[in-house]
Amino acid sequence: MLFIPIFHNLPNIYNEAMKKINYLNIFIYQNLHKNLSGVIMSVDFRGQKEKNLIALLLVLGFSCFLTYCFQFIPEKSTFLANQFFGPIILVSLWHRRRIWLAPFFLAAIFVFIEIFSQRFGYLLPEDYFRLIMFIFIVIVVAFLGERIEKVRMLNDLNEKLKKQTERLEDANNELEAFAYSVSHDLRVPLRAIDGFSRILLEDYGDKLDDEGKRLIDIVRDNTMKMGQLIDDILLLSRAGRQEMKISEIDVEALANSVFEELKHSMEDRNVQLEIKPLPTAYGDRTLLQQVFSNLLSNSVKFTRTKENAIIEVGADGVKNENVYYVKDNGVGFDMKYVNKLFGLFQRLHTPDEFEGTGVGLSIVQRIIRRHGGNVWGEGKVDEGATIYFTLPGKKEDLKNHLS
């Protein structure tokens, strides 16, 4: 409070001078009185925190100067009415926050100061009272300015987000065009390579020796692999962009039907499937079918070297999230490489051991994440692998994730 006596003396000096230009005083008063809200509001709080502080100090200084030099606040009541409620209402109209609380808060402070000063039998000089009130107002207005600035920043961010979304949409469209072109344009030459190497074999087979035929087989084998790769890439891109149709899924029935479909690819094998009771989940049927198809066919593939393959599908419920798992007793994997499990085109086996493109688990991950779930794996070399994934058990959870 040291600075107040200095300021307190200032008005006396200035008042002497001001009396001499009373006319001007009244003129300025009348105008400023009406426009003080505008003066305060026009201070730009935009930018950094330091800048805001400077702006706050400027307003503070300017308001002290106004209060003491021009003595333009004749009564508390009109002061409150015009200088205080004016900007408050202005600002509240602006962004409809809880700013209407501010006048009540300030009024409480004023009442407290009055009571406090009366309690100690000390009447606050009018000038001090005005100064305190003014400082409060300025702080409040600065605070409001800060909030307005936040809204402004939010708007800016929104704008940026909108542009970003547009760019993302563009990129997505490009990706779609790319996927389309992959599905069409890459298949054409591939079919030609496969077809004509086959025709070569059919029409000129008698002129080729075994080595020649073997070489042609290599060509055909590789076109098959490339065809598979194209199909998998397309599946992956579809898993990411296909619109989701949400319904309640009987996961148990889904797992069963997928396994039935896989059966034709393992006629000569002894594969035992054990499906434990599975809770229903919410999600897109086609996409979840893809998940089970990829996981179960992986299990079937990687148990190929075992005499008795056992695949188990089960679940543990944790609150709203259902944790499902697909477990097998196949060749498993080294936990050292677990971080590569879901990587695109990442493989933990050579093509000689097990065929594959390294896309399957990426697709699984993409689909589960689109459902707001998580997926992870555990394994041990020669003992088997378990892939866990979570799915929302409640429709609201999925809706919250998607919105």
Partner 1 sequence: MSLDEVEILLVEDNPTDAELTIRALRKNNLANKLVWVKDGAEALDFLFATGAYSERNMEGLPRLILLDLRMPKVDGLEVLQRIKADERTMKIPVVVLTSSKEDRDIVESYKLGVNSYVSKPVEFDEFTEAVSTLGLYWILLNKPPE
Task: Output the CA torsion sign for 212, 218, 221, 225.
Answer: negative
Nearest distance, CB of residue 226 and partner 1, angstroms? 8
Q: How far is 289 from 280, CA to CA, in rounded Å?
A: 14
CB of 184 to partner 1, least distance (A): 5
Complex with partner 1: residue 92 or 223, whichever CB lies closer: 223
Nearer to partner 1, 24 or 177 (CB): 177
Shortest Cβ 195–partner 1 spacing (Å) = 4
Phi, psi (rounded to 5 degrees) for 67: -60, -45
User: By C-beta, is 183 or 256 nearer to partner 1?
Assistant: 183
3-state secondary structure of 329: coil
Question: Closest CB to partner 1 among 235 and 323?
Answer: 235
| Residue 10 parent element (H or E) | helix 3-20
Minimum distance from CB of 217 to partner 1 (Å)?
13
Q: How large is the angle between the packed helices 3-20 and 22-41, nearest 10 degrees? A: 130
Which token pair is 302? 């990687």
Residue 263: CB minimum distance to partner 1, A: 21
90-103 burial string, b = 16+ CB within 10 Å, else e?
bbbeeeeeebeebb
- H/E segment holding residue 306: none
Instruction: Give the shortest CB-200-to-partner 1 separation in angstroms.
Output: 11
CB of 4 or CB of 190, closer to partner 1: 190
Of 208 and 275, the one with the shorter C-beta distance to partner 1 is 208
We find the least distance from the C-beta atom of residue 142 to partner 1, in angstroms, to be: 56
- Look at phi and psi of residue 386 and say left if phi exceeds 0, alpha if psi is from -120 to 50, else beta: beta
Residue found under tokens 């005499």 = 307
Running DSSP on this structure, what letter comes out for residue 350? -
Strands (E), 183-308: 246-249, 271-275, 281-284
Longest dimension (CA), the chain: 123
CB of 232 to partner 1, least distance (A): 13
Q: How far is the CB of 227 from partner 1 (least distance, A)?
A: 4
Please, what is the minimum distance in Å from the beta carbon of residue 351 to partner 1? 18
Q: Which residues bind partner 1 (CB under 8 A)?
A: 180, 183-185, 187-188, 190-192, 194-196, 198-199, 220, 223-224, 227, 230, 234
| Residue with smaller CB distance to partner 1, 186 or 338 | 186
Nearer to partner 1 among residue 194 and residue 284 (C-beta)? 194
Give the helix, strand, coil percentages of the chain, each rounded to 5: 70, 10, 20
Q: Is 138 helix (H, G, I), strand (E, B) or coil?
A: helix
Tokens 């499937």 locate to 273
Residue 310, SS3 per DSSP: strand
Q: Which is nearer to partner 1, 191 or 245 (CB)?
A: 191
CA–CA distance, 98 with 149 (Å, rounded to integer): 15
Instruction: Check: CB of residue 282 under 8 Å from CB of residue 248.
Output: yes
Secondary structure class of 349 (helix, strand, coil): coil
> Residue 226 and residue 230: Cα distance in Å, rounded?
6
- The residue (of 57 and 199) whose beta carbon lies closer to partner 1 is 199
Minimum CB distance to partner 1, residue 259 (Å): 25
Using alpha carbons only, give the angle 316, 322, 324 rounded to the nearest 5 degrees.
60
Nearer to partner 1, 46 or 245 (CB): 245
DSSP string computed for 227-280: HHHHHHHHHHHHHHHSPP-EEEE-HHHHHHHHHHHHGGGGTTS-EEEEE-----
